């Protein structure tokens, strides 16, 4: 394959209302749409580091994308897909978001050339539907069929959090499970107290209750908690996933491919999780439609049966929210060639 041109469009899209987590208030989502041209074909990607979570910045991503653009201009002739993946890796060592965005665009091109959906390009036995969770927001109803709700807590006192869960649980149907995301803001004693007091609710897991690096404390919490412990910020690479496994610090991996940085890294972490009886969930880093489509295909290719955090499009103030679940609470994986995205950047 020969890459003829890379086109970037930087974006800044406001949230419909500020998204408050325990560590950050998000008012605007910034990133880049990527288009790779190969002859008459185009492949799409999105590079969007998440402020406060990603190890790279928007400027890191910009510089990495510009390095790749320069590299393809200097590379004569065609390159095999593995060689292009290696070139992407060399140009994006300090920006996992740029790497994931470029890989998405490259694999979109490659899948289109073969007439395959991106999910089927990676796995002929990929799933046709993906279960999803929804993100709790006051006044916003659960989509039909969705049976799992993610709730951001940790930005107030423990008593305030418990009261919020009490009110929410009372208002929900009994079949709805809650995933509570603390973004690393509790200490061990607070987390132990919370776990004991949360047992009367239907909690699927408690996500990142302690700081990312506190693996020994996370391991103790996991041993003593009646509620499964999930990690998000603690897993940013294959190496960090192995450290979590060796520490015995998690029941669930919540994986953000934008932060892990590549399709192969995500697949390797999913493999490690399965080998160690750890549940794996693919979740959005609040990307726009191109990034979320990539995650849908990736979750399908990896045959993730856990509800995944992919319903974040309507958080942003834009017309196109991307895939929406059907009455069964699942996203249907697109079957058209590539990502199933057509834009107007090039």
Residues 156 and 284 in one domain: yes
pLDDT attached to residue 215: 98
Q: What is the DSSP string of 24-60?
A: -EEEEEEEEEEEEEETTEEEEEEE---TTT-SS-HHH
Among residues 5, 129, 152, 185, the one annotated as catalytic is 152
pLDDT attached to residue 175: 85
Residues 226 and 311 in one domain: yes
Q: Extract the tokens encoding 202.
A: 């239907």
Residues 57 and 156 in one domain: no
Residues 82 and 178 in one domain: no
Count of structural domains, the chain: 2
In angstroms, rounded to a whole number, what is the distance separating the alpha carbons of residues 116 and 300? 14
| Any domain includes 266 | yes
pLDDT attached to residue 314: 87
Active site residue 150: no
pLDDT attached to residue 139: 84
pLDDT attached to residue 345: 58
pLDDT attached to residue 321: 65
Region class of 280: left (phi > 0), else alpha (psi between -120 and 50), else beta:
beta
Residues 146 and 215 in one domain: yes
pLDDT attached to residue 34: 97
Residue 159, number of CB atoms within 10 A of its CB: 9
Active site residue 256: yes
| Any domain includes 53 | yes
| Any domain includes 121 | no
**How many CA atoms are closer than 13 Å to the CA of 201, on its beta-carbon side?**
27
pLDDT attached to residue 263: 97
Residue span of the structural domain in which 145 resides: 129-332
Residues 196 and 72 in one domain: no
Residues 150 and 109 in one domain: no
Mean pLDDT in order along the chain per 10 residues (346 residues): 93 92 89 95 96 94 97 88 96 98 98 97 98 92 92 92 93 89 95 95 97 97 97 97 98 98 97 98 96 97 97 86 83 95 71
| Any domain includes 178 | yes
Answer positive or negative: Cα dihedral of 173, 174, 176, 179. Answer: positive
Residues 111 and 141 in one domain: no
Residues 258 and 319 in one domain: yes
Residues 45 and 101 in one domain: yes
Residues 177 and 52 in one domain: no
Residues 146 and 233 in one domain: yes
């Amino acid at each position: 394959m020969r890459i003829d041109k890379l086109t970037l469009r930087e974006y800044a899209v406001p949230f419909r209302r500020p998204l408050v987590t325990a560590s950050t208030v998000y008012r605007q989502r910034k990133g880049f749409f990527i288009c790779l041209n190969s002859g008459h074909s185009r492949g799409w990607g999105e590079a969007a580091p998440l402020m406060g979570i990603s190890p790279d910045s928007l400027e890191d991503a910009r510089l990495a994308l510009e390095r790749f653009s320069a590299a393809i201009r200097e590379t004569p002739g065609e390159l095999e897909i593995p060689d292009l993946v290696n070139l992407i890796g060399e140009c994006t060592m300090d920006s996992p978001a740029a790497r994931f965005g470029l890989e998405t665009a490259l694999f979109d091109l490659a899948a289109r050339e073969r007439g395959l959906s991106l999910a089927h390009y990676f796995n002929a036995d990929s799933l046709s539907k993906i279960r999803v969770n929804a993100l709790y927001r006051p006044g916003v109803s659960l989509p039909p069929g969705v049976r799992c709700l993610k709730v951001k807590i940790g930005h107030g006192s423990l008593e305030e959090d418990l009261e919020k869960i009490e009110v929410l649980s009372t208002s929900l149907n009994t079949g709805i499970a809650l995933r509570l995301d603390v973004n690393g803001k509790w200490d061990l004693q607070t987390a132990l107290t919370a776990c004991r007091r949360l047992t009367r609710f239907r909690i699927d897991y408690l996500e990142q209750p302690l700081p990312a690096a506190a693996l020994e404390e996370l391991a103790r919490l996991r041993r003593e908690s009646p509620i499964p412990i999930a990690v998000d910020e603690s897993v940013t690479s294959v190496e960090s996933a192995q450290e979590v496994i060796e520490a015995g610090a998690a029941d669930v991996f919540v994986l953000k491919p934008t932060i892990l940085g590549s399709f192969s890294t995500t697949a390797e972490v999913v493999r490690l999780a399965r080998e160690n009886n750890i549940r794996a969930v693919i979740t959005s880093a609040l990307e726009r439609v191109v990034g979320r489509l990539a995650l849908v295909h990736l979750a399908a290719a990896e045959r993730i049966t856990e509800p995944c955090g992919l319903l974040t499009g309507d958080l942003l103030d834009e017309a196109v929210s991307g895939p929406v679940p059907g009455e069964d609470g699942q996203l249907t994986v697109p079957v058209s060639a590539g990502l199933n995205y057509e834009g107007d950047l090039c």
